Every structure is written in structure tokens, then in C-alpha cells.
Amino acid sequence: MSVFARFVSLALALSAGAASHAATLCVANSTQFHDALASIATSTDALVVIKLRTGQYADANGNGHFVFTQNRSNQIVDISGGWSGANGTCTGKSFDPAATVVTGAGDFPALRFDNGFSGTSGNSIYVHDLTLRNPNYTAETMAACVYGAATAANEVMFERVHLRECNATRVPSSLMENDGGTLTIGNLLVRDSQGADVGGLMLASYDGGVTRAAQVTVTNAASVWTAAPSSALYVQNYSGAHAYISNTVVWGNDTDVAVPDIRVLGTGVYFTRVHYGKLAGVPDFNNTPSSGDPRFAGTYDARLSIDSPLIDSGVANPVGGVGTFDADGKPRVRGAGVDVGAFEYVPPDPIFKNGFENN
């Protein structure tokens, strides 16, 4: 069962049994988004659903930062973009992350969240169908686009998200931590970003935490530091943590040949069908790795071309699942098998072949 299907089943069961303890907020502008996130800290609701209407949300002009923490146990927080409807309602849904864009400030990530660090348990955070960007991050802490944490006895699910133009000069471009909980990432695109020690995404897991990342694409990421550990993906494990990276492509990143695309630090890291240029560090398990040109559709387009070796070459049931939709919000499995990376190849419509569109 996909991350989305598991979450929906849980949310429906909870809301059906305790409707008076569920809150749904339809958000249309930056101030409303900030206020909705801020309300989570004091909420007594077991289910908080924040729906962002399609459009632009910017951490600027006094709107406040986009940040929240869970201060109670057994709470589900669902944050998603792609909503629309008449008269400012949230009744229609798109699964395309590009339709809803959240931009961070120079001193704060586009989105910052955690399950709570003071003995909370049974909490879930589900973030999906969003684009996060922050082109001018200058702070010395956290990260440019996302700084999120799954804590012990809690979980975070991060699905169908685009991280783009996440530019930091002193910290990682984006950072997801797992401090003894469960972190699941799926159908994630990271592109056109740079950071101090890693230009794409850092995954750091501790104290027995389980991190699962599948259907990820990282491209056109670069490190600011000349001796950076990784240009695109940095997987760190400590104290009995486990990280599973599957059906993922990390390619076309830092031009400095001394900086690897992927770096692994620690034990308990498992790769399954990962396509990369240069790997530093040794994962405990590295099944069916591959390299060479993945044949993206274009220089700045990480979708797959018709002759890509990534088409239909992924493992069918990676740890964490393949998801219902890809990073374009389109059906995930369309051919003989699942494709590697954030995007599923979509064949051209036969109607538009052979020059028909020119008639």
C-alpha cells in the first residue's frame, strides 16, 4: 500500500470516529498559511488538515515563517497543495506539485517542521503536492528549502514534492532528520540547487530510526565548498539507524569531479536500483546500481526520454513503496514496470505523431 493510501485510510478512520476532533483549514494566501501552521502547536485536534489552494506563498512582508511543531501525542497533520474550488473553497484536487509554490525567506527555510521532541508519540506528519524553493538563503543554521525532523515513536511522510532553487551558502540545501522515528520520502524531485556541504538533499538518521526514500531524482545540484562531501545526496547514519534508498537517480550534478554525487556515512545504508555518477563511501547493500547517461528529456528537464535506460527498470516493491502518482501527479506505473526516479515516462499521444499537430 502506498504512503498516500495508508495515510488516507488512517485519516478517514479517525475522522469518522471522532469528527469533533478534526480540523480542516482551506488556505489561500501566505498569512493564512502561516496562521494555520502556528495553530498546530496549541491544537487539541487529533487530525489537522491544511489545504493550500494553487498559487504562490512567500515568507516575506511580515507574513511570518512557515514552521510548526507537534506538542501533543497521537495527532495527524496533513499539509497538501493543489486545491481549488469556487468562492475560495478547497473542493478540487491536483496532485501536481508545480501548482503550489512555497518560497522561503533569506533567514528561514521554506518549510520547517517536526513531530515534537518532548515525549510525544503516535504522531504523523504528511506533506505532499508542493514545490518548495528558496533562492537566497544566507542563514548559518537549518537549510534553505526544507528542515524537517521525524522524532522517536513518530513518523513523517514527504511525498510528491519539488525542491528547486534551494540555494544556501553556509548549510545544506535541504535537510531531513530522523531521530529514532520513521521517515518516508517518495516521488521527490531535487533540482537547480546548491548548498555548503551538499547541494541537493541530506538525510541524517539516528538512534534506530528507519528512513525510506524511493522514486527520487536529484539533478543540477552543486556544493559551494570545494572539498564538500557530496554534491547531491548525503546519507548519514548513526546509532543503529537504517536507511533504504530505492529506484533513485542522482545525475548531472556538480562539475567538480572531486565531489561525488552521493556520499554514504555510517552503517545500515541499503541501495536498491540506484543510478548515479560517482559514489563515495560504501553502503551495506548496493543492489543493481548503474551509471552512465540516464537520458533525461532535456538539460533542465529530469523527465525521461523515450530511450532512457531507467524506463521500466525499477524494482516493483521498494521499501517505502512506489506511490500512486509520480512527481508530476500522473499515474505511477504505466509500462511493463516502474521507472527509476521521480518521473514515470509518459509516451506521446498517438494523435500528435507524424506531424498531425501541424495540420
Report how far apart, in Å, the C-alpha atoms of 75 and of each of 34, 123, 257 are: 19, 5, 46
Instruction: Output the pLDDT for position 348.
Output: 81
The residue with cell 559551494 is 224
Beta strand pairing status for 279-280 and 262-265? parallel
pLDDT of the residue at 350? 58
Report CA-CA distances (Å) from 19 to 26, 47, 75.
17, 9, 14
- What number is the average pLDDT over the span 289-312? 96
Bridge partners, residue 242, by sequence: 210
Q: Where are the domains of the chain?
A: 100-118+128-358
According to DSSP, the residues that pair with 58 across neighbouring strands are: 103
Q: Could you report the per-residue pLDDT of 103-162, keeping only the tens digit for each?
A: 999 999 999 999 998 899 999 999 999 999 999 999 999 999 999 999 999 999 999 999
Judge contact between 47 and 95, C-beta under 8 A: no
d(CA 235, CA 243): 8
The verdict on pTM exceeding 0.85 is yes
Contact present, 32 and 55 (Cβ < 8 Å): no
What DSSP string runs through 49-117?
EEEEESEEEES-TT----EEE--SSS-EEEEEEEEE-GGG---EE---GGGEEEE-BTTB-SEEEES-S
Supply the mean pLDDT for the chain.
92
- When pLDDT is cut at 50, 70 and 90, the band that residue 359 belongs to is very low
The stretch 272-284 carries a mean pLDDT of: 96
pLDDT of residue 13: 56
Rounded CA separation 265/229 (Å): 10
Give the number of C-alpha atoms closer than 13 A to the C-alpha of residue 10, restricted to the C-beta side. 21
Note whether 336 and 312 are within 8 A (CB). yes
Q: Any idea how long the chain is?
A: 359
CB-count exposure of residue 55 (10 Å: 0-12, 13-18, 19+): middle
Residue 21 has pLDDT above 80, yes or no: yes
How far is Cα 240 from Cα 192, in angstroms, rounded to an integer?
A: 33
Q: Specify whether the CB–CB gap between 320 and 184 falls below 8 A.
A: yes
Q: Is the pLDDT of residue 20 over 70?
A: no
Cα(340)–Cα(214) distance, integer angstroms: 9
Burial of 14 (0-12, 13-18, 19+ CB in 10 A): middle
pLDDT of 81 reads 98
- Would you state the pLDDT for residue 62? 61
* Dihedral sign of CA atoms 155, 231, 279, 251 in order: positive
Specify the pLDDT at position 340.
98
User: What value does the mean pLDDT take over residues 213-222?
Assistant: 97
Q: Is the pLDDT of residue 41 over 60?
A: yes
| Tens of pLDDT, residues 115-125 | 998 899 999 99
How far apart CA 222 and CA 197 sit, in angstroms, is 9
Contact in structure between 233 and 264 (CB atoms under 8 Å): no
Please tell me the distance from the alpha carbon of residue 339 to that of residue 314, in angstroms, as a whole number.
5
pLDDT at 299 over 90: no
Q: What is the pLDDT of residue 357?
A: 44
Q: Percent of the chain at pLDDT above 90? A: 85
pLDDT in tens, 71-82: 999 999 999 999
pLDDT, tens digit (0-9, with 9 covering 90-100), for 186-211: 999 999 999 999 999 999 999 999 99
